[in-house]
Structure 1
Amino acid sequence: MGEFELIRQFFAAAHCAQAVEGVALGIGDDCALLELAAGQQLAVSTDTLVAGVHFPAVCDPSLLGQRVLAVAVSDLAAMGAEAIGFTLALTLPEVDAQWLKDFSDGLSRMAHRCRMSLIGGDTTRGPLSFTVTVFGRIPAGQALRRDGARPGDLLCVGDHLGDAAGALSLVLGERQAAQELARPLLARYWAPMPQSTLGQLLRGHASAALDISDGLLADCGHIAKASGVALEVNQQQVPVSTELQALLGRDAALQAALTGGDDYVLAFTIAPEALQRLVLPGFIHVHVIGRVLPGEGVTLRDSQGHDITPVQRGYQHFRETP
C-alpha cells in the first residue's frame, strides 16, 4: 500500500477528518485552511510521541490513538483555547491494515470528544512515532500564560494527580490489580481528557496556567521561573485518588502525584477573590494546593511546614550532568 492510499483509506475517510467549524479546507490539498473570526487569535502547539519513550512499543493501537491526540490537545486547554483541528505526522516501521484501522478509530473517538477535526499531516517509514500539531482559537488577549503569577495568589490543580504515573506499572505488565482498581487508573493513562472546559472558564480569572505533563513540582517550576516568583506546595493538600493509594500505598501515591507526570491536569495560580467568583461545573474539582510567594523556585512542605523538596522533581528527556 502506498503513502497516499494509506492516507485516503485510514485517515482522510475517518470520522476524525470530518469538517468542523473553523476549518475551511481540510485533508486533500497542499495546506489546510482555517477561519478565525475578528478578534480571535490562533493557538498552535506541537507534540512528538516516540515508541519506547512516551508509550510502550507494543500496545493496543486504539488506545494509543486516543492518547496521541489527548496529550496534544491538553496544551490548548492550558492556554484556554477552544480546539479547531490537528495535523498528524505518522512514522511507521511497516503497514499493518488492522493496526491502522484500530489506531484511526481511537484517534476519531478522541477527536469527537475534543470537537476537532484532522486537517492534514504526513506519513513516512521509520521507527514508530507521531507528531501532532493542534490548532485552537481564543479571544485576543485572553490566553492563559505562565508569566502572570503574583505573590498572594493561590496555587491550584484541576483534579487529582498521579493516576497515570501509577498506572504505568500496569501498562507495562509489571503489576497486576483487580479490574475495579485498574480500570480508572488505566483510563487516565490511555485517555486523559484535556481540561478544555476548565481552561476556558479560567480566562480572565487565573493569573498563570499550564498542563502537568512532566510532574507537578517540575511543571510548577516553569510558572515560578516565567513569573519571577516562588511557589509553595503543601504536600497534605495534593489530591490523590483512592484507587492510586490502594494500588501503591499512601507514600508512593504521593510521590507519583508530585513527580510522576502524564497527568494532563491544569495547574494554575489565581487570586483568592477570583477563585471565589468562579462558577465551575459539577465534574470539575479544583483543589488549592499551595500559594505564590516572593522569591524563586518551588518548595514542597509537609504538615509541620518543613521543607521536604525532593531533588528529582519530574521527568526530563535530557538531563544536565555536572
Structure 2
Amino acid sequence: MSGEFNLIEKYFVNRQPQRKDVLLAAGDDCALVKAPGNVEIAVSTDTLVAGTHFLTEANPAWVAHKALASNISDLAAMGATPAWVSFALTIPEVDEAWLAPFCDSFFKLADYFGIQLIGGDTTKGPLSLTLTVQGFVPEGRALRRDGAKVGDWIYVTGNLGDSKAGLEVVLEPEQNRAKPYALELEERHYLSVPRVLAGQALVNLASSAIDISDGVIADLKHILKRSQVGASIDVSCLPISPELCQFTSDIASAQQYALTSGEEYELCFTVPEENKGSLESVLSHTGTKVTCIGQIRPVEYFELHNNGEPLSWRLTGYDHFKAN
C-alpha cells in the first residue's frame, strides 16, 4: 500500500503506554513479549468483513469497538486476563475520515482493558479486520466447554436478544427504525461490553463457559456436545430488556430473540449445585447481572419449556448477514 508506513506511524504506533511484559512492540520482524510464570496463554483470532459482519457505511467507531470487543469476549469466556492484540487491516484506500474515529475507539477500548497493540499489518483491498488477542489464565484453571455435568445450573450474564433487534434495524431501517427503542438497540448491537471481570470471577466456580456469539441456544449446544450432556431451558427465565419487549411487542417474540440473537458477547456458563450459593457473592464486585435459565440434563436430552409447559419452537442460532 502506498504510504503504508506513514499510515502505521500516524494511526497505530505510540498510541498506548508500554506494558512491562512487552519487550518490543514495533520496529522489527516480530513483537517480543514475556509471560509471567505459572500461567497459560489464551489466544483467539477473528476476522470481520465489510458486508458480512458490518455494513461499509457503519460508524467506524462502532466497527472498531465491535471488532475488538468480540475478541476480548473470547478471552472472558476462558476466564483470561487480556494482555496483547495484533491487528491486520485490509482497506481499499487511506481514508483519514474513517481511520481517525476507528483508531480512537479501538485504543479507547484497548486501554480500558489494559491491552497493548503489539503488531499487525496493513494491506490494500476490500475492507476487513483480523485481530488476534492473547491473555493470561492461571495454569490449569481456564474455563472450557467440556466440564458441564448433569445437575449443573445454566446461567447467562446480562440481557439477551437486544443485538438481534439492533441488527434488524441495521438491515431493514425503513421497516424497523420507527419501532420503539430502535436506535438504542442498534447501538447495543455494535457496543457490547465483554464480561472480562465476570469470566475471571468464575474461574474455580463454573464448570464450563462460552461467550454468546451465535445465540444462546446455539452456543449452549457447543457446551452440551463437548461435555456430552443435555439441557432443559425455561424461557420464562430468560433475561430480556424492557426495550426489546417494546420493540417486538410480545413476550414470545422477545423470548425467541433472546434464544437466537448472535453477537451478544454475554457469557453462558454452568455451575455445580455446590457452587450455586457462592455465585452472587463471587460476582458482586463485577457489577454483572446473572440469570439462571435452566439445568444440565442427561445426554441427548434437550427441552425448551415455559414454566414447565413444553414448547415446540424450532429455532436456530445466529447467521452473519450477507452482503447486498
Relative to the length of structure 2, the TM-score reads: 0.92
Distance 2:186 2:116 in 1: 26
CA-atom RMSD in angstroms: 1.9
CA offsets per residue over residues 275-294 of structure 1, 9 Å max, x none? Answer: 21132226211100000011
Contact residue 303 and residue 310 of structure 2 kept, 8 A = no
Distance 1:184 1:134 in 2: 28
Distance 1:111 1:243 in 2: 29
* Structure 2: runs of 5 or more not aligned: none
* 1:3 alignment partner AA: E
Query: In 2 relative to 1, CA 242–317 (structure 1 residues): closer, same or farther, beyond 3 Å?
Result: closer
CA offsets per residue over residues 18-42 of structure 1, 9 Å max, x none? Answer: 3224322212221112221110111
Structure 2 residue aligned with 1:14: 15
Deviation, structure 1 residue 304: 3.4
Structure 2 residue aligned with 1:281: 284
Structure 1 residue aligned with 2:209: 209
CA offsets per residue over residues 175-221 of structure 1, 9 Å max, x none? Answer: 22589x34542342122110000000000010000000001101011
Distance 2:215 2:305 in 1: 16
* 2:56 alignment partner AA: A
CA offsets per residue over residues 101-128 of structure 1, 9 Å max, x none? Answer: 1110110111122221111111111111
Q: Which moved more, 1:300-309 or 1:236-245?
A: 300-309
CA offsets per residue over residues 255-299 of structure 1, 9 Å max, x none? Answer: 211112111000000112212113222621110000001112643
* 1:91 alignment partner AA: T
* 1:206 alignment partner AA: A
* 2:53 alignment partner AA: H
Distance 1:132 1:69 in 2: 7
Relative to the length of structure 1, the TM-score reads: 0.92
Q: Which moved more, 1:5-14 or 1:152-161?
A: 5-14
Structure 1 residue aligned with 2:258: 257
Question: Within 5 A, what are the aligned runs for 1:184-223?
Answer: 184-223=184-223
Structure 2 residue aligned with 1:246: 246
* Structure 1: runs of 5 or more not aligned: none
Identity value in percent = 42
Q: Secondary structure at the match of 2:207?
A: strand
CA offsets per residue over residues 125-170 of structure 1, 9 Å max, x none? Answer: 1111111100000110010000000001000001110111111123
Distance 1:298 1:218 in 2: 12
* 2:117 alignment partner AA: L
Contact residue 27 and residue 118 of structure 1 kept, 8 A = no
Question: Within 5 A, what are the aligned runs for 1:69-218?
Answer: 69-172=68-171, 173-174=173-174, 175-177=176-178, 181-182=181-182, 184-218=184-218
Deviation, structure 1 residue 254: 1.5
